[in-house]
Amino acid sequence: MKNAAEWFTTIVRHLGIRPRRRVSPEALFLQFRDVLNSTNRSLEIITDIGDTLNGDYLFDVQYLRRSYGDLSASLERSLASFEKLTSGRYPRLRTVHRSIDENIRRAIDGASPQRRDLVVFAGDLDDSSANTVGGKARNIAELGNRLGLPVPAAFIITTQAGGAYLRHNRIQERAGLTGEAGDGMPYEEMQELILQGDMPAELGRAIERGLRRLRKSCDSDCYLAIRSSAGEEDGDLSFAGQFETVLNVPADISAVGKAYRKVLASLFAPGPVAYQRRFGYGTADMPMAVICMIMVDAAASGVVYSRDPQGAKDSIVINAAWGLGTSVVEGGADADYFRVSRGDPARILEQHIGAKASLAVRASGGGTATLPVPVHARTRPSLSPEQVAGIAGLAMQIEQHFRRPQDIEWAIDGSGKVLVLQARPLRMPESLLQRPARPAPEVPEVPIARRQGLSVHQGTATGRVFILRNPADLARVSRGDILVARHDASQFVRVMADVAAIITDTGALTSHMASLCREFRLPTAVNTGDMTRTLVHGQQVTVQIDEQAVTVYPGVVDHLLDRGGAGSRLMEDLAEYRKKRYLLRYIAPLNLVDPLRDDFTPKACRTLHDILRFIHEKSVAELVDRTGEGWQSRRAVKLDLPIPAGIVLIDIGDGLENAGSREQVTAEQVASVPLRAVIRGMVHPGVWRSEAVPLRANDFMTSMLRASDIVTDGAPRASASVAVVSRDYVNLSLKFGYHFIILDCFCSEVARNNHIYFRFAGGATDITKRSRRLQFIAGVLQEQGFSSKLKGDMIIARLANIGREEMEARLDVLGRLISFTRQLDAMLHDDGAVERHKNNFLNGAYGLPFLRGKQMPRKDP
């Protein structure tokens, strides 16, 4: 039979819990310094990479390999030091790091991901499979999984599956390709081979399993939207409207398989091929995943931009129409337009209710149909003010999460629920052009036309007018033409690299074409009314598009022309540069901000910067929890102060001066910078009150009852107050009666290393007064810039990344707070006392006026 100790060991081993090794405070601190040094080096490399990739010059991929090699080695040292410090208690961090590292190396070298899943459910998407589902699927899954936003249930047929389908059907080989594809690649033949190809048996089974699971989320008959999710789609480039979308597909293997082939084949359609060539992508190398999402039977739908692309930074733009959203994103309807404030609550600043003559709906048995809108509903708003405000709120929430303006597709189902269908970065032309404003020159010419259209992308261009009457005529568009069309359409991407500008009679700022034109930096205006009837085909004109209007002049007006040139290949358009920018998304952004949040976990790390942040904060927590473990076995010296604090010191490196073998040292002998600052605050005149504060009867009874359990919630159990110190560090554990305080601080010349951790727990009075004291402490700390979290009768506060002088000033205030609050809870008889005493403290009123509850004129402490 096992004894209790053996059973405990067995359980610990079974649960994978690694017991901490007991180490001396010196060894623990040295481990902590190792973590700091290695993380600092990693952060320096990240800063250098970010500065270089944001620079104004090009360089080859060897720079990326070399720089990332240095960063990878440095981060490996950070992880190793961290695992040693924490006894390997965060194994998930290694898994997350491997996934991020795989994404980066794949972007640099084209390495294949390790996971081989053919189908992944959006709700199950984790770090190991996120890079196999493409940008669009990754974004929508993140909104559902991380933010809990309403998104339709979906599974993704991964990029691995797409590659398996192409190999199974020998597409490149049968198309007569050997080696890398070039301009002569037979794209149309490849499309046909994909459409007629056989479904690999393993892939067919995986899709069938996905369909069975997805059908459980349907109320009745299950229909799907089958959408593309190419490798870089909805990332730095949108690929808006380039790939096939098949709507209202019955959830059976035959129909889904046919729709899957269509989406996969669209990778080689003329428009996407032109788009990829324009931005330097190799078509045959672009991985394609496909989303199978439950179809929303939309009563209304549309697009929301979290920022107005025309430059109004304080507003949101919403386009909406009845039925499915295809009429909005393809510019086929005169949609409702709302410009909404970004405040809370959101207010409609401007609106235009379009003449919504038709709507797209789900057709019986699959597919979609276009129907006339009843006359009474055509000029009725498709959204109520409450729905407008709700959609605006979603847009701000999504923008805050992704930390950049967003282009979001949404739909409202029959029950009135808003669902998010897609989110991608919104290209803002003003932030990209960065051109200084120039005074408008005088224009003697009389314009042919001037219209109050919507400016998609501002600029000036000259060329011959090409009036597009039939989409088939796109093949006749010549380089330098001004394309003028009745409706906007994403298929115009086929000529965007060649035309000088685009003007359409109808259209919206939120259409696919608008997104593409912003990416091409192509002067574009939509919703101009009658330009196809006003301008003459073949006429030479100069087009000027600004935020107010589109103006067309006859001939070439040289002094109006933008010297940058329409459609010029700016540096950030080049594929090599975008590859480098693509890497930054996995390296530099910091998403893991608040260590006091419950989701401050390895799983939430999305970048290498997040991993370094997690390492730093958890290293601090480890130091806080373990510094005092071995103090009683060591020689400790008493600290002689003019107040009865009862502190003993353990010097682990240059924390004391001229201490020798003495059993007691003075405050003047303390060389520890942070402890010296705390002591200065604790002994500040008036903050330590030696007079007794009378306890009421219920406070006295509470103190007696709490004597047995006052050391809960992680408070120290030692009877003495202990400070473990070095020149730049202090870990101070204080016990004043029933009050327990831990202060951990690293205060150096390097701001990013510095931190303060403060924990206060306990109290002798009833829970109401203890809660009031925590509110008082939280209020003071908030004034000092701390973030804090209250839990029961404990408060935890943190501050980090500030300079040494500021740190010392905050520590001085904490010292005063420690002394000031010793008996404070017994005096907080009503809620109003909290604010009154907080103001007294901040005003420097520590003595008799405080005891009387008077408020003094404010001054800096």
Domain boundaries, the chain: 4-89+588-625, 119-294, 300-426, 446-573, 627-851
Query: For 479-493, what is each residue's pLDDT tens digit?
Result: 889 999 988 887 787
Separation CA 510–CA 524 (nearest Å): 13
State the pLDDT confidence band at 671, using cuts at 50, 70 and 90. Answer: very high
3-state DSSP assignment of residue 16: coil
> 253 near 207, Cβ under 8 Å?
yes
Work out the mean pLDDT of the chain and round it to a whole number.
Answer: 76
Class of 446-573 in CATH = alpha beta
Pick the most confident of 185-194, 364-373, 717-726: 364-373
pTM: 0.51
Query: Residues for the chain: how many in total?
Result: 861
Query: For 545-572, what is each residue's pLDDT tens digit?
Result: 988 789 999 988 877 774 444 334 443 4
State the pLDDT confidence band at 576, using cuts at 50, 70 and 90. Answer: low
Q: What is the pLDDT of residue 697?
A: 43
Separation CA 153–CA 218 (nearest Å): 9
Separation CA 608–CA 130 (nearest Å): 16
Q: State mean pLDDT over 169-177.
A: 71
Q: State mean pLDDT over 95-101.
A: 88
Query: For 740-761, what is each residue's pLDDT tens digit?
Result: 788 888 888 887 778 888 888 7
Residue 579 token pair: 């590859």
DSSP state of 204: H
C-alpha distances out from residue 792 to 702, 705, 716, 767, 775, Å: 16, 17, 16, 9, 12
Exposed (0-12), middle (13-18) or buried (19+): which is 364, by Cβ within 10 Å? exposed
Separation CA 202–CA 180 (nearest Å): 28
Pick the most confident of 62-66, 193-197, 438-442, 532-536: 532-536
Q: Which residue has better confidence, 116 or 494?
A: 494
Exposed (0-12), middle (13-18) or buried (19+): which is 365, by Cβ within 10 Å? exposed
* For residue 87, pLDDT beyond 80: yes
Taking domain 119-294, whether its CATH number is 3.30.1490.20 is answered by yes
Q: What is the pLDDT of residue 581?
A: 60
Query: For 409-429, what is each residue's pLDDT tens digit?
Result: 988 888 888 999 888 888 765
β-sheet bridge partners, residue 745: 730, 756
Q: Which residue has better confidence, 861 or 279?
A: 279
* For residue 58, pLDDT beyond 50: no
* DSSP per-residue codes, 301-358: EEEEESS-TTS-TTEEEEEEEEB-THHHHTT-S--EEEEEESSSS--EEEEE-----E
Separation CA 828–CA 407 (nearest Å): 51
> If you compute the radius of gyration of the chain from its CA atoms, what whole number of angstroms results?
33
Q: What is the pLDDT of residue 707?
A: 36
φ, ψ (nearest 5 deg) of residue 159 = -65, -30
Helices and strands in the chain: count of H runs, count of E runs: 25, 30
Within 8 A by CB and 6+ apart from 292, the residues are 154, 155, 156, 157, 207, 210, 211, 214, 224, 225, 226, 256
> 488 near 510, Cβ under 8 Å?
no
CATH of 300-426, one of 3.90.1200.10, 1.10.10.60, 3.90.180.10, 3.30.470.20: 3.30.470.20
State the pLDDT confidence band at 801, using cuts at 50, 70 and 90. Answer: confident
> 112 near 106, Cβ under 8 Å?
yes
Residue 526 token pair: 């939509």
State the pLDDT confidence band at 542, using cuts at 50, 70 and 90. Answer: very high
**Strands (DSSP E) found in 443-504:** 449-451, 454-457, 459-468, 482-485, 501-504
* For residue 112, pLDDT beyond 60: no
Q: What is the pLDDT of residue 690?
A: 59
Query: Do 300-426 and 119-294 fall under one CATH topology?
Result: no
Alpha carbon 286 to its chain centroid, in Å, reads 25
Show the CA angle centred on residue 566, arms to residues 564 and 570, nearest 5°. Answer: 60
